[in-house]
């Protein structure tokens, strides 16, 4: 394995699929590696994308796990293409090998640090299932096969990891006041999403800040994004951007550093975490209506 190997998001995506296949059939790492005639170390490195992917290994694992030929051939093609295109522009390679909007659900589960900016709505990793469906209806990024049950499962898994006693994951959230005040799917749906934000803010390594109206408008990004930093030294930072109804990854290290610096600058202009939570709670309480008022609000 080359010490300078850096896996692309496409390669990491294939590794996650292979791990999911193994989990589905209930095999431990040692059991699966014995059946594939790999060492446990090799299988671990394949799943965690810390060595170049070999399409033949994907084929072998597909047979071991009993997946359909169509499934293992698709992943083998993705592995081959990602390997061949590693030196090309990452956005070009990812457009052919990776659905970033789908992959982000699993990518943020692995991030050690996640910086989240919401320009006009609450970003997807912070959605409740109902908010997610409502956001999709208004044109937020989605993908074939996207469903509330899958999103809810990923979200619950993420919350469990954030809440773990020894969790070292850090989440920093920046939302514009427009994103907090915008009603998505009706008052009840938005209220539930805001209450979830307040609950998350109680976690030790989770912070939420709000950018008030008029604060450095010229310095704000035009859309929502995630900046993800991963714990493994061979997994570079990436930025996931949502715009024009699609999601895409940016894997250029210089761009990622600029995004991180810009995020930090915006944090200094935002309300502090305590003030931000107070504002979110105030807005959430304003979305609580008497039953007789709800029909009128939904009709607006």
Q: Is residue 4 part of a domain?
A: no
Please state, in angstroms and rounded to a whole number, the distance separating the CA atoms of residues 32 and 52: 19
Find out whether 253 and 236 touch, Cβ atoms under 8 Å: yes
Which residue, chain included where needed, has tokens 């295109």? Answer: 85
63, 52: one domain: yes
Higher pLDDT, 178 or 87: 178
What CATH number does the domain containing 176 carry? 3.30.870
User: CA nearest 86: which of 71, 75, 97?
Assistant: 97
Q: Is the pLDDT reported for residue 157 higher than 90? A: no
Q: Which helix (H) or strand (E) holds 8?
A: none
Question: Which residues make beta-bridge pairs with 172?
Answer: 115, 207
* Pair 114, 77 in one domain: no
Phi and psi torsions of 176, nearest 5°: -70, 155
- 181, HSE (Cβ side, Cα atoms, 13 Å): 8
Q: Write down the pLDDT at residue 95.
A: 47
Q: Is residue 71 part of a domain?
A: yes
Of 65-74, 96-105, 224-233, 275-284, the least confident: 96-105
**Phi, psi (degrees; rounded to nearest 5) at 228:** -110, 130
Output the pLDDT for position 218.
52
Structural domain boundaries enclosing 53: 9-97
Residues 47 and 164 in one domain: no
Instruction: Kindly tell me if the per-residue pLDDT of 214 is higher than 70.
Output: no
Tell me, yes or no, whether 204 lies in a domain: yes
Q: Choose the final residue of a domain: 81, 97, 113.
A: 97
202: enclosing H helix or E strand: none
Pair (120, 269) in one structural domain = yes
Is the pLDDT at 284 greater than 50, yes or no?
yes
- 1 lies in a domain? no
Instruction: Give the helix/strand (H/E) hosting 174.
Output: strand 170-176
Shared-domain flag, residues 132 and 216 = yes
**Does 82 fall in a domain?**
yes
Indicate the Cα dihedral angle 16, 22, 26, 28, nearest 10°.
-100
Structural domain count, the chain:
2
pLDDT at res. 132? 84
Mean pLDDT calculated for residue range 243-270: 90
152 in any annotated domain:
yes
Query: Is there a single domain that holds both residue 119 and residue 89?
Result: no
pLDDT at 166 over 60: yes
State the alpha helices, DSSP H only, in 173-290.
177-181, 187-200, 253-269, 273-286
Q: Are residues 146 and 60 in the same domain?
A: no
Q: Are both 186 and 269 inside the same structural domain?
A: yes
pLDDT at residue 76 in the model: 92
Is 276 part of a structural domain of the chain? yes
Give the domain CATH number at 89: 1.10.260.40
Which pLDDT score, from 0 to 100, does residue 29 have?
A: 93
Predicted confidence (pLDDT) at residue 180 exceeds the cutoff of 50: yes
Higher-confidence position of 231 and 276: 276
Residue 163 falls inside a structural domain: yes
Is pLDDT of 37 > 60? yes
Last residue within a domain, chosen from 75, 97, 119: 97
**CA 287 from centroid of its chain's CA atoms:** 28
Element (DSSP H or E) covering residue 287: none
Of residues 210 and 244, the one with the higher pLDDT is 210
Residue 145 banded pLDDT, cuts 50, 70, 90: low
Same domain assignment for residues 91 and 18: yes
Q: Please state, rounded to an integer, the average pLDDT across all residues of the chain.
A: 84
Q: Which of 23-27, 100-104, 163-167, 182-186 has the lowest mean pLDDT?
A: 163-167
What is the sign of the dihedral through the CA atoms of 266, 238, 23 and 29? Answer: negative
Of all residues in the chain, the percent with pLDDT exceeding 70 is 84
Say yes or no: 115 and 237 in one domain.
yes
Q: Are residues 246 and 281 in the same domain?
A: yes
Residue 88: its pLDDT value, please?
A: 57
Domain finish residue from 97, 125, 153: 97
Instruction: Give yes or no: residues 232 and 129 share one domain.
Output: yes
Q: What single-letter DSSP state applies at residue 213?
A: T
Given this model, what pLDDT does residue 295 score?
41
């Amino acid at each position: 394995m080359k010490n300078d190997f850096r896996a692309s998001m496409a390669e990491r995506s294939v590794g996650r699929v292979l791990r999911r296949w193994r989990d589905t059939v209930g095999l431990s790492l040692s059991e699966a590696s014995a059946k594939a005639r790999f060492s446990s170390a090799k299988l671990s490195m394949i799943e965690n994308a810390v060595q170049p992917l070999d399409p033949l290994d994907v084929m072998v694992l597909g047979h071991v796990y009993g997946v359909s030929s169509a499934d293992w051939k698709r992943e083998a093609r993705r592995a081959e293409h990602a390997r061949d295109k590693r030196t090309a522009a990452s956005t070009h390679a990812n457009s052919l090998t990776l659905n970033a909007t789908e992959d982000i659900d699993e990518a943020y589960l692995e991030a050690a640090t996640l910086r989240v900016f919401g320009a006009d709505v609450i970003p997807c990793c912070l959605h409740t299932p109902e908010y997610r469906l409502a956001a999709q209806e208004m044109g937020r990024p989605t993908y074939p096969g996207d469903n509330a049950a899958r999103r809810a499962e990923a979200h619950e898994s993420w919350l469990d990891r954030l809440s773990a006693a020894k969790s070292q994951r850090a989440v920093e959230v920046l939302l514009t006041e427009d994103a907090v005040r915008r009603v998505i799917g009706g008052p009840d749906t938005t209220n539930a999403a805001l209450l979830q934000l307040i609950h998350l803010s109680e976690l030790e390594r989770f912070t939420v800040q709000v950018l008030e109206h008029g604060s450095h408008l010229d310095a704000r990004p035009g859309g929502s994004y995630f900046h993800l930093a991963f714990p493994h030294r061979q997994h570079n930072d990436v930025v996931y951007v949502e715009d024009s109804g699609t999601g895409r990854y940016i894997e250029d290290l210089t761009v990622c550093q600029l995004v991180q610096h810009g995020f930090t600058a915006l944090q200094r202009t935002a309300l502090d975490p305590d003030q931000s939570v107070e504002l979110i709670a105030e807005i959430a309480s304003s979305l609580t209506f008497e039953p007789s008022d709800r029909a009128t609000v939904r009709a607006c």
